[in-house]
Amino acid sequence: MSREVNANGGPKRYRATRADRQAWARAIRSKPCELAANPALRDIVVDKLRRRWSPQQIAGWLQLTYPERPEMQVSHESIYRTLYVQSRGALNKELTRYLRTYVKCLPRASLSQVSAMCAAAS
C-alpha cells in the first residue's frame, strides 16, 4: 500500500481516482502480442497445437525453420501466456485442451494445506 501511495504523489498528494487512472495507463502494453500481430505465425502455432505439439516444440521448430526471420519466431512462454491470458485474444482458450498435460487452473493451496494433503496421503 505504501508503495502505491509513494508512487502516486505521497501521503499528502495521493488521490485514489488519479492513481487508478495512472495504473491503467501504465498497464497498457506498448508492444502488441506477437501472435495477434502476425496472422501467419498464429496459424502455424494453432496448427501445431492441434497436432498436440508442445509450446516448447513449436518454438524450437520455428527457430529451425525460420532462422533468418525473427518475426516468424515466438518463445514457448509467449505461447503459454497467450493461451492462458484471455485479454490477449490471439489464441482461443479452447486450444488449451490440445496441450499434453491439460491442467485446469485451480486456486493455489497454501503450504500448510499442501503439507496436510501430503500427510493424509501417506
Question: Lowest-confidence range among 32-41, 59-68, 70-79, 93-102?
Answer: 93-102
106 pLDDT tier (thresholds 50, 70, 90): very low
pTM given for the model: 0.54
**Residue 91 scores a pLDDT above 90:** no
The conformational region for residue 99 under phi > 0 = left, psi -120 to 50 = alpha, else beta, is beta
Identify whether the C-beta of residue 117 lies closer than 8 Å to the C-beta of residue 109: yes
**Residue 120 scores a pLDDT above 60:** no
Give tens-digit pLDDT for 42-60.
Answer: 999 989 988 989 899 999 9
- Domain range summary for the chain, segments of one domain joined by +: 1-30, 34-98
Q: Average pLDDT over the chain, rounded to whole? A: 76
Of all helices (H) and strands (E), which one includes residue 78? helix 76-84
Query: 55 is written with which cell numbers?
Result: 509450446
Tell me the C-alpha distance between 90 and 39, whole Å: 9
13 pLDDT tier (thresholds 50, 70, 90): confident
The owner of cell 501445431 is: 48
Give 118's contacts (C-beta < 8 A, 6+ positions apart). none
**Residue 116 scores a pLDDT above 70:** no
Q: How far is CA 2 from the centre of its chain?
A: 28
24 pLDDT tier (thresholds 50, 70, 90): confident
Q: How far is CA 29 from the centre of its chain?
A: 13
Which pLDDT score is estimated for 101?
Answer: 58
Which pLDDT score is estimated for 29?
Answer: 62
The upper half-sphere exposure of residue 29, i.e. CA atoms within 13 Å in the direction of its Cβ, equals 8
